[in-house]
Amino acid sequence: MAATTIPGTNVDIRLWANPEQVEGSALRQLHNIAALPWTYKHVAVMPDVHYGIGATVGSVIAMRGAVSPAAVGVDIGCGMTAVRTSLTAEDLPASLAPLRTQIEAAVPVGRAAHRSAAFTERDAGDWDRFWAAFDDLNRRVRRDRGKAVNQIGTLGGGNHFIEICLDESGQVWVMLHSGSRGVGNVLALHHIEVARGLAHNQSLPDPDLAVFIAGTPQMAAYRHDLYWAQDYARRNRAVMLRLISDVLRRSFHGVEFDEPISVHHNYVAEETHFGEEVLVTRKGAIRAGAGDLGIIPGSMGTGSYIVRGLGNPDSFESASHGAGRRMSRTKARKEFTAEDLANQTAGVECRKDTGVVDEIPAAYKDIDEVIRAQDDLVEVVAKLKQVVCVKG
């Protein structure tokens, strides 16, 4: 699908979505982003686009000499990890409830945390350097070091999940979605607040789009905390994957695992596009450079895709991060019941209670349509369907 171009004040907006199907509030946000003097070339908008705080979810924003913390979001480094196993559908037991219980026992979900540090050198290297940098983070998080330590290897709540999936050939995959947990949230909110108070941001159309400018102490402080939180999120997913893999090793003797695929979809990267070095913010988008493997999940009852990037320069080499919500959590809770959730997740071993009804598949866009809308951004490597889904 070719992108649709909408003229903006400073730069244009390029949408891999039908403009008529994008909510008005999200379009207004996109016009606000396109009006910023630091925004470079154009705003790239993914087919899963929907309203967010400050910047839309599903937007890719390149800036010269500036970055907006709200364009990253409050879950810095949120992303996906997936790995194909040597198991097949025939290896799985008739009832998957015990497997879900074992995963939930190994990986704390919701607000829960480990009782002590769960990470090891098996998960990621150089933990000493990583934790030494914690002492240089903003003071608002330094008093919560113990919490940050014990939340490494935990899922969280909301749209975060752990899944056991089958691809179309019957191969078993492990997939998970999580970010930088409480420490990333506190850091993000602090820096958004700081940016809003800076003099150069006082006349913006939306105060949540406040930016930091290159060469300032505020920018240096944000980038230090940002990159640490992105690393925290990556390590968090690595620990969870190892914990889940250990569950499978205990249950299935001799199981083997391929090299994991891991991607951020709320983050900042220093990249070169159209011949210029820029700061690229992807909020609800993955990098899809030529040959890059990526993960685009659907909802808890529909399935997901493993994709390979095509390196489309017009999207700043990006693709969508998922199906994208088509209704708010509040509206979903009002419109659907636990019975609706049970019907829409038939065949999936998962929670089917009112506590997760806002994650019902009908609250999300059609993942197959979202994939078709970006066939010039990615090619499909595998389609997965979950058989177990763990949520907080």
Token digits of residue 123: 């998960």
Token digits of residue 308: 């390979």
Token digits of residue 336: 């659907």
> What local confidence, expressed as pLDDT, does residue 42 receive?
98
> What local confidence, expressed as pLDDT, does residue 315 receive?
98
Beta carbons of 341 and 259 less than 8 angstroms apart: no
Cα–Cα distance, 54 to 33 (Å, whole number): 9
> What local confidence, expressed as pLDDT, does residue 320 receive?
98
Query: Which string of DSSP letters, residue by residue, matches 46-106?
Result: EEEEE--SSS-EEEEEEESSEE-GGGT-SSTT-EEEEEEEEEEGGGS-S--HHHHHHHHHH
> What local confidence, expressed as pLDDT, does residue 54 receive?
81
> What local confidence, expressed as pLDDT, does residue 125 receive?
84
CB atoms within 10 A of CB 24: 8
pLDDT over threshold 90, residue 392: no
> What local confidence, expressed as pLDDT, does residue 93 receive?
97
> What local confidence, expressed as pLDDT, does residue 211 receive?
98
Reported in sequence order, the residue ranges of the chain that DSSP labels E, i.e. its strands, are: 4-6, 12-15, 42-50, 57-63, 66-67, 79-88, 161-167, 171-178, 212-213, 261-264, 266-273, 276-283, 285-287, 293-297, 304-309, 318-320, 378-391
> What local confidence, expressed as pLDDT, does residue 144 receive?
92
pLDDT over threshold 90, residue 264: yes
pLDDT bucket at 2, cuts 50 / 70 / 90:
confident
- CA nearest neighbour of 249 among 86, 98, 80: 86
Query: Distance between alpha carbon 332 and the CA centroid of its chain, in Å?
Result: 21
pLDDT over threshold 80, residue 369: yes
pLDDT tens-digit series, residues 231-242? 999 999 999 999
Cα–Cα distance, 34 to 237 (Å, whole number): 33
Average pLDDT across the chain, whole number: 96
Beta carbons of 386 and 164 less than 8 angstroms apart: yes
Cα–Cα distance, 270 to 66 (Å, whole number): 11
φ, ψ of residue 216 in degrees (nearest 5): -100, 155
pLDDT over threshold 90, residue 53: no
Q: How many CA atoms lie within 13 A of 83 on its CB side?
A: 18
CB atoms within 10 A of CB 136: 11
> What local confidence, expressed as pLDDT, does residue 37 receive?
95
pLDDT over threshold 80, residue 195: yes
Share of the chain above pLDDT 70, in %: 100
> 302: which residues sit within 8 A by CB, 6+ positions away?
323, 361, 364, 366, 367, 385
Query: Residues 23-29: what's their mean pLDDT?
Result: 95
pLDDT bucket at 75, cuts 50 / 70 / 90:
very high
pTM of the model: 0.96
Question: What residue has token string 């959730």?
Answer: 341
> What local confidence, expressed as pLDDT, does residue 56 receive?
95
pLDDT over threshold 80, residue 1: no
Q: How many CA atoms lie within 13 A of 168 on its CB side?
A: 7
Cα–Cα distance, 48 to 320 (Å, whole number): 6
Query: Residues 318-337: what's their mean pLDDT?
Result: 96
Rounded to 5°, the CA angle 119-122-125 comes to 80
pLDDT tens-digit series, residues 103-145? 999 999 999 999 999 999 888 889 999 999 999 999 999 889 9
Higher pLDDT, 2 or 55: 55
Known catalytic residues are 321
